[in-house]
């Protein structure tokens, strides 16, 4: 690895590219185990070191909540407030595409409220355009070997990040599906199946909207897979074999390649076939809401055959690829939050990962229990010490 400073190095923050998304300061109040911390962040890599249970993940969670208004742990608002407190606040000065803004999220009993420069944004999209973050947390391993729901969410969220209009597509589909399920449920409760003509109408809406969901997922995977393959190879080395993503679901592979119309026709036919079964069961059993995808490396499904290390590399590669794609398509690189870097990745893979992140010149926030887990030159990052909800600059030497 080279030892020269890249633009992502904290010591070279003034060489920062205009396209970089840069969280300059961070202020966290009454969030989880933090009463009040204020940090000035370097534009490159920050590493938060601390023992178990000191608040490392909590800090990443605060940044993630600021960027997405959601917790990566799926925590409810009340869990995020410091015990005994009724309000929490996360504030940051963020620079994006050359524009400096102050973003603020306040959490209270009524929910979350986002502000830009102290004012309510006209639309939430105005808020989100100022900040993007991608997190890799230990739970992400479940993307590879966990239940399908997480994988569908990953796909839909990543597709949405690149194309906000996808949200409307998903919403239409959800509406149609909920209506159809309500009809089926009512039929089951009355013990008389819904009228076929009526069910057929909702099936038609599910097919039209569902086909758009599937087509958009296909389009996204078309862009994503080549990037993923490259990133995965970068982390693991080419020797392990080509990485693939296989989408499986309500529509056969050959129909998937026939575009929106082909998908819609096939889905329509599948819904028609399933009609009686669905009437009997009282809920929808066919559609993209049940589709899944899996990671295959060198012809083998990682879910069934992957080692812990392979699964971890693949999950990490998924998140890093999201970054690479967002950087390419949005023109600014999201913040990368990397929780709990441990010795699970072998030193070679670890080093490859760090090199990759530095190449992206992303702002990166890493947490670890041991600095020695990191394979980066000490020149290239700013270390911080986390102890019991307090954070200070850290000199490993002293």
Ligand X SMILES: Nc1ncnc2c1ncn2[C@@H]1O[C@H](COP(=O)(O)OP(=O)(O)OP(=O)(O)O)[C@@H](O)[C@H]1O
Considering the rule CB under 8 A, would residue 209 count as an interface residue with other proteins? yes
- The distance of closest approach from Cβ of residue 192 to other proteins in the complex, given in angstroms and rounded to an integer, is 12
CA angle 80, 84, 90 (to 5 degrees): 40
Q: Is 216 in the site for other proteins (CB under 8 A)?
A: no
50 binds, among other proteins, ligand X, Mg ion, none (CB under 5 to 8 A by kind): ligand X
Looking at beta carbons only, is 50 or 210 nearer to Mg ion? 50
Give phi and psi for 258, each to the nearest 5: -95, 20
Choosing among other proteins, Mg ion, ligand X, none, which partner's interface includes residue 300 (Cβ < 5 to 8 Å by kind)? none
Q: Which of 49, 88, 103, 183 binds other proteins (CB under 8 A)?
A: 183
C-beta closer to ligand X: residue 48 or 247: 48
d(CA 99, CA 101): 6
- Our CA dihedral for 170, 327, 382, 389, rounded to 10 degrees, sits at -10
* x-marked contacts with ligand X along 11-40 as a string, rule CB under 6 A: ---------------------xx-------
Cα 75 to its chain centre, rounded Å, is 15
Please choose, from the candidates 207, 198, 209, 175, the residue with its C-alpha nearest in 3D space to the C-alpha of residue 279: 198
* Residue 83 contacts ligand X per CB under 6 A: yes
Instruction: Please tell me whether residue 82 binds ligand X under the rule CB under 6 A.
Output: yes
Interaction partner, residue 314 (other proteins, Mg ion, ligand X, none; CB < 5-8 Å by kind): none
Among 58, 268, 310, 313, binds ligand X (CB under 6 A): 58
298 is an interface residue for ligand X by CB under 6 A: no
Residue 256 CB, shortest distance to other proteins, in Å, is: 24
Binding residues vs ligand X (CB under 6 A): 32-33, 50, 52-58, 79, 81-83, 340, 369
Binding residues vs other proteins (CB under 8 A): 168, 172, 175-176, 178-180, 182-183, 186, 197-198, 200-202, 204-205, 209
């Amino acid at each position: 690895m080279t030892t020269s400073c890249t633009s992502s190095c904290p010591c070279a923050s003034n060489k920062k590219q205009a396209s970089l998304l840069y969280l300059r300061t961070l202020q966290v109040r009454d969030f989880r185990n933090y009463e009040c911390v204020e940090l000035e962040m370097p534009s490159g890599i920050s590493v938060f070191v601390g023992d178990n249970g000191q608040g490392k993940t909590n800090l990443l969670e605060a940044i993630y909540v600021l960027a997405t208004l959601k917790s990566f742990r799926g925590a409810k608002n009340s869990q995020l407030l410091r015990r005994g407190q009724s309000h929490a606040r996360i504030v940051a000065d963020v620079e994006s595409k050359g524009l400096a803004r102050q973003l603020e999220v306040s959490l209270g009993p009524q929910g979350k409220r986002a502000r830009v420069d102290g004012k309510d944004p006209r639309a939430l999209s105005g808020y989100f355009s100022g900040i993007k973050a991608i997190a890799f947390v230990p739970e992400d391993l479940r993307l590879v070997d966990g239940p399908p729901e997480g994988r569908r969410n990953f796909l839909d969220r990543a597709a949405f990040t690149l194309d906000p209009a996808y949200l409307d597509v998903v919403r239409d589909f959800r509406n149609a599906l909920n209506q159809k399920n309500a009809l089926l449920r009512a039929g089951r409760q009355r013990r008389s199946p819904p009228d076929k003509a009526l069910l057929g109408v909702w099936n038609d809406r599910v097919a039209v909207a569902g086909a758009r969901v599937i087509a958009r997922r296909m389009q996204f995977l078309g862009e994503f897979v080549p990037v993923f393959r490259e990133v995965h190879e970068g982390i693991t080395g080419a020797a392990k074999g080509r990485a693939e993503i296989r989408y499986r679901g309500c529509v056969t592979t050959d129909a998937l390649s026939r575009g929106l119309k082909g998908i819609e026709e096939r889905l329509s036919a599948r819904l028609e076939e399933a009609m009686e079964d669905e009437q009997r069961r009282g809920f929808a059993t066919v559609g993209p809401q049940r589709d899944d995808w899996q990671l295959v490396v060198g012809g083998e499904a990682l879910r069934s055959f992957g080692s812990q290390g392979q699964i971890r590399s693949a999950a990490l590669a998924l998140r890093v690829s999201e970054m690479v794609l967002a950087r390419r398509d949005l023109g600014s690189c999201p913040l990368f939050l990397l929780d709990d870097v441990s010795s699970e990745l072998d030193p070679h893979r670890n080093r490859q990962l760090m090199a990759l992140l530095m190449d992206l010149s992303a702002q990166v926030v890493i947490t670890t229990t041991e600095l020695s887990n990191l394979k980066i030159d000490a020149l290239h990052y700013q270390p911080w010490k986390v102890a019991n909800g307090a954070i200070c600059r850290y000199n490993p030497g002293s």
